[in-house]
């Protein structure tokens, strides 16, 4: 088992040389001060998973420092960050929180970048334990790891000497990695933090892992107990939770694997975390996928924020008031909130326009006040008959331009002014309604309907 093996060669082989140098430098600086430095979280997981020796593209690295001999080391993470920055200049250093977590950021233009290194200080410094006791030293990193989400994310790799390269695996994370299991660390984990449900799904789908069965039970229990609803009504706790929930939703809904992830969330009934009545029914699931097909065809150059439209389509399944509550709680951007708010009135108005047997020109005039993303939402939710006409508008009619433009009018001697708009609109309407086949027909039409000598 690698718990006993030295993992430094694995790390060295898979990291970019500069990054490896940086970690070595940080480890030496920590050992010189009598501290321990650990690589923790996703990076350890990914190093162990990349068994075929593929290089790892790590852009986020979490380090934890501990092993202090007195209580005066609250700023250990910050001190190490400064040492690293001296050796690898060009980083921005941010310090946040009571625990003085340091974040170093190198931009894509630097040798190391793009890279973010978080250095947290494990929390023994707040407990004046006797210094030389190795159990206490181990217990602070253990505590740090115990606060994490899943066993596979709660592994630590010691970077500093002595015993550099040792894997610290208190919760069986290594075996779970081998078995392909997402296992939570304790029973209340999802009640404490419902975003972990979304994280569990994200890791399961991304790594092709399974949710361990007891973990699934804990998820069901957390959802059934309404823990999430309670936290939503607790105003103080809710904003931070909602921000993290939005971040997880974004992560999932913009990933290439968003379909199986959304499906797994539905299997777990976890969409209820957004609202107790939110269920991804077969019909809603169809709508979301249909929206996606339309996006592929209409938004070829990826101008639209697809993850948000997917989320809006899901949230739109709720009644008007609830949609707005969810969007506001998640602090969705203003245009998302605006769309969800307009949808209620826009949907019947658009249905009325489309249901009459109006010519294309009338539809174009009526619909051009609406923006494309709103129409896409309406399209995904519309009944079949309306869908066909709305699709025609979005895919064809809305792109059609009149056969002549302002320059043509000027070249023909029309005096520039407000009537240009009127003429061009009338030309467009005639073209949309199939009255003009080509440019020559448009020129003829112009002479007939807007004769020059009458102007
Ligand atoms: P990714 O490769 O997707 O970035 P990651 O494991 O690095 O995966 P992060 O979201 O960057 O994921 O989190 C870093 C680490 O912080 C995780 O590995 C986990 O140990 C811990 N963590 C993150 N979010 C939570 C949470 N909600 N609850 C508990 N621990 C968390």
| Residue in 60, 99, 156 to alter for ligand 1 test, most ligand atoms within 8 A of Cβ | 60
The verdict on the CB of residue 148 being under 6 Å from ligand 1 is yes
State the virtual CA torsion across 388, 394, 399, 402 in degrees, nearest 10: 50
Decide whether any atom of ligand 1 lies within 6 Å of the 312 Cβ: no
pLDDT of residue 97 exceeding 90: no
The confidence score (pLDDT) of residue 130 equals: 41
Does any ligand 1 atom lie closer than 6 A to the CB of residue 196? Answer: yes
| pLDDT tens column, 236-279 | 556 788 889 999 999 999 999 999 999 999 999 999 999 999 99
Decide: 153 in ligand 1 pocket, CB within 6 A: yes
Q: Is the CB of 149 under 6 A from ligand 1?
A: yes
Query: What tokens appear for 409 in the block?
Result: 């009018």
Which tokens belong to 20? 């490896």
Nearest CA to ligand 1 atom 28: 149
How far are the Cα atoms of 24, 47, 70, 323 from residue 7, in angstroms, in the given order?
13, 9, 30, 50
Helix or strand or coil: residue 181? strand
Tell me how far the alpha carbon of residue 153 lies from the centroid of ligand 1, in angstroms: 7
pTM for the predicted model, two decimal places = 0.87
The answer on pLDDT for 303 being more than 60 is: yes
Ligand 1 pocket, residue 189 CB under 6 Å: no
Q: What is the pLDDT of residue 454?
A: 59
pLDDT band at 39 (very low <50, low <70, confident <90, very high): very high
Residue nearest to atom 3 of ligand 1 (CA): 42
Judge whether residue 107 has pLDDT over 60.
Answer: yes
pLDDT tens column, 66-82:
877 655 566 889 999 99
Q: How far is the CA of 366 from the centre of ligand 1 (A)?
A: 48
Give the orientation angle of helix 258-267 with respect to helix 306-315, to 10 degrees: 20
45 CA: nearest ligand 1 atom: 6
User: Rounded to the nearest whole angstrom, what is the distance from the C-alpha of residue 61 to the centroid of ligand 1?
Assistant: 10
* pLDDT tens per residue, range 324-378: 999 999 999 999 999 999 999 999 999 999 988 889 999 999 999 999 999 999 9
Q: 144: Cβ below 6 Å to ligand 1?
A: no
Contact 151 CB / ligand 1 (< 6 Å): no
pLDDT value for 113: 82
Residue 13 is predicted with a pLDDT of: 87
Q: Are 315 and 355 in contact (CB under 8 A)?
A: no
Q: Cβ(62) to ligand 1 under 6 A? A: yes
Overall average pLDDT of the 13-17 stretch: 89
* Omega of the bond leading into 155 within 30 degrees of 0 (cis): no
Q: Are strands 156-158 and 36-40 parallel, antiparallel or unpaired?
A: antiparallel
Average pLDDT of the residues in 100-128:
81
DSSP code for 152? G
Tell me how far the alpha carbon of residue 203 lies from the centroid of ligand 1, in angstroms: 10
Name the residue with higher pLDDT: 4 or 429: 429
Q: What is the position in ligand 1's atom list of the atom closest to the CA of 43? A: 7
The predicted pLDDT at position 129 comes to: 43
For 177-181, 189-193, 235-239, 367-371, which range has the lowest pLDDT when averaged over its residues? 235-239
Asked whether 58 and 43 are in contact (CB, 8 A), the reply is yes
| Mean pLDDT along residues 141-159 | 94
More confident call, 53 vs 389 = 389
- Work out whether the CA dihedral 396, 397, 402, 405 comes out positive or negative: negative
- Give the model's confidence band at 126: pLDDT under 50 very low, under 70 low, under 90 confident, else very high: very low
* Protein residue whose Cα sits closest to atom 9 of ligand 1: 42
| The pLDDT of residue 232 | 62
**What domains are defined for the chain?**
8-177 (3.30.460.10), 180-273 (1.10.110.30), 279-398 (1.20.58), 406-454 (no CATH)
Nearest CA to ligand 1 atom 21: 148
Lookup result for tokens 């997880």: 248
pLDDT above 70 coverage of the chain, percent: 90
Please state which of the ranges 130-134, 310-314, 334-338 shows the lowest mean pLDDT: 130-134
ipTM above 0.95, yes or no: yes
Counting atoms of ligand 1 from 1, which one is nearest the CA of 202?
3
pLDDT tens for residues 364-422? Answer: 999 999 999 999 999 999 998 899 999 999 999 999 998 999 999 999 999 898 899 99
Quote the tokens at residue 445.
């039409």
Separation between Cα atoms, residue 347 and residue 316, nearest integer Å? 11
Peptide bond into 437 cis (omega under 30): no
- Testing ligand 1's pocket by substitution, the residue of 47, 48, 61, 62 carrying the most ligand atoms inside 8 A of its CB is 62
The pick from 42, 183, 254 for probing ligand 1's pocket by mutation, whose C-beta has the most ligand atoms within 8 angstroms, reads 42
**Closest Cα to atom 22, ligand 1: which residue?**
148
CA dist., res. 109 & res. 253, Å (int): 29
Task: Judge contact between 270 and 198, C-beta under 8 A.
Answer: yes
Mean pLDDT value across the chain = 89
**What pLDDT does 199 receive?**
97
Q: Which atom of ligand 1 approaches the CA of 41 most closely?
A: 18
Rg of the Cα atoms in the chain: 30
Encode burial over 339-375: b for 16+ CB neighbours within 10 A, e otherwise: bbebbeebbeebeebbeeeeebbebbebbeebeebbb
Predicted confidence at residue 175, as pLDDT, reads 97
Rounded-to-integer distance, Cα 151 and Cα 209, Å:
13
pLDDT score of 125: 41
CA of 182 to the centre of ligand 1 (A): 13
Task: Fill in the DSSP letter of residue 359.
Answer: -
Cα separation, 427 vs 435, in Å, equals 9
Query: In terms of Cα–Cα distance, which of 206, 213, 153, 145 is closest to 177?
Result: 153
pLDDT of residue 226: 80
Percent of the chain whose pLDDT exceeds 90: 69
């Amino acid at each position: 088992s690698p718990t006993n093996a030295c993992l430094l060669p694995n790390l060295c082989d898979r990291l970019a040389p500069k990054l490896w140098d940086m970690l070595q430098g940080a480890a030496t600086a920590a050992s010189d001060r009598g501290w321990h430095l650990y690589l923790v979280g996703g990076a350890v997981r990914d190093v162990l998973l990349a068994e075929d020796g593929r290089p790892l593209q790590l852009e986020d690295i979490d380090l934890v420092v501990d092993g202090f001999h007195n209580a005066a080391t609250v700023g250990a993470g910050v001190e190490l960050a400064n040492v690293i920055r001296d050796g690898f200049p060009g980083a921005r250093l941010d310090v946040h929180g009571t625990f003085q977590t340091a974040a170093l950021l190198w931009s894509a233009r630097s040798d190391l970048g793009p890279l973010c290194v978080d250095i947290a200080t494990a929390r023994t410094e707040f407990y004046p334990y006797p210094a030389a006791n190795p159990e206490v030293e181990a217990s602070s990193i253990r505590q740090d790891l115990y606060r994490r989400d899943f066993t596979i994310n709660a592994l630590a790799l010691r970077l500093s000497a002595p015993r550099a390269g040792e894997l610290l695996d208190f919760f069986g994370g290594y075996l779970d990695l081998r078995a392909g299991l997402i296992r939570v660390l304790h029973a209340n984990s999802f009640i404490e933090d419902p975003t972990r449900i979304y994280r569990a799904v994200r890791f399961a789908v991304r790594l092709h892992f399974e949710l361990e069965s007891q973990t699934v039970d804990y998820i069901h229990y957390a959802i059934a107990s309404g823990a999430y609803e309670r936290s939503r009504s607790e105003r103080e706790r809710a904003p931070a939770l909602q921000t993290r929930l939005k971040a997880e939703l974004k992560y999932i809904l913009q990933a290439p694997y968003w379909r199986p992830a959304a499906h797994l969330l539905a299997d777990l009934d976890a969409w209820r975390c957004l609202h107790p009545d939110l269920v991804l029914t077969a019909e809603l699931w169809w709508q979301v996928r249909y929206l996606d097909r339309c996006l592929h065809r209409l938004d070829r150059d990826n101008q639209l924020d697809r993850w948000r439209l997917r989320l809006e389509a899901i949230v739109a399944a709720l009644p008007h008031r609830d949609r707005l509550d969810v969007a506001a709680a998640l602090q969705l951007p203003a245009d998302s909130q605006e769309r969800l708010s307009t949808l209620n009135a826009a949907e019947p108005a658009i249905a009325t326009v489309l249901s009459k047997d109006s010519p294309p020109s009338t539809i174009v005039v009526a619909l051009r006040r609406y923006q494309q993303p709103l129409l896409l939402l309406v399209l995904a939710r519309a009944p079949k008959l309306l869908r066909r006409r709305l699709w025609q508008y979005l895919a064809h009619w809305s792109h059609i331009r009149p056969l002549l433009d302002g320059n043509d009018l000027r070249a023909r001697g029309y005096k520039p002014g407000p009537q240009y708009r009127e003429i061009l609109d009338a030309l467009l309407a005639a073209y949309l309604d199939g009255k003009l086949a080509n440019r020559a027909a448009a020129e003829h039409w112009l002479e007939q309907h807007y004769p020059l000598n009458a102007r």
